[in-house]
Copies of this chain bind each other. A is one copy, B any other.
Amino acid sequence: MKMNEGVEWALHSCLNLAWIGADRAVTAARLAAYHALPTAYLNKQLQALARAGLVTSTPGPKGGFRLAKPLERITLMDVVTAIEGPDEAFRCAEIRKQGPGAQPEAAYRLPCAIAESMAAAELAWRKELAGTTLAQVRERAERRAPNAPGAIRRWFENS
């Protein structure tokens, strides 16, 4: 079970976009260059964020991406769902219904106990993700590296 690498890229890009400011659009190429990432592939991830309504995209010269909402209104869950899709990690294939021990359909009215237990654990994970906003992450990051926002802003302006 491995999460898409694009999630990390999207999170970093969102923070960078926030530090740059929503008044200015930034191209995928610039965002990729800052972390030495493959441009076209990061573009793909940003498209996913755009479909999810987290960023807005404008084509043409002076185009690029910018945040659609303040970081206070974007959660980790939003980003993960945008990149990974809505499906749960543990998907019950209902193997209890297969094989010689199969029962009539009525016996499976109640959900599988195994699936339910796994879903409960995953719900705890999702709750934590949904309860953490990118604003909190940004705050934590700025406490770790107070001069990072200025440096990032400067680099993206001088280009």
Q: Whole-angstrom distance from the CB of A79 to the nearest CB of chain B? A: 10
Cα separation A3 to B118 with both chains bound (whole Å):
11
Verify A89–B1 contact, CB threshold 8 A: yes
Considering the complex, which residues of chain A in the window 32-76 have a beta carbon less than 8 Å from any beta carbon of chain B?
A: 33-37, 76
The DSSP consensus for interface residues of chain A is helix
Q: Which residue of B lies closest to A127 (CB)?
A: B124
A12-B76 in contact (CB<8A): no
Could you tell me if A152 and B101 are in contact, using CB atoms closer than 8 angstroms?
yes
B113–A34 touching, CB < 8 Å: no
A1-31 with Cβ < 8 A to chain B: 1-5, 7-9, 11-12, 15
> A125 to nearest B CB, angstroms?
4
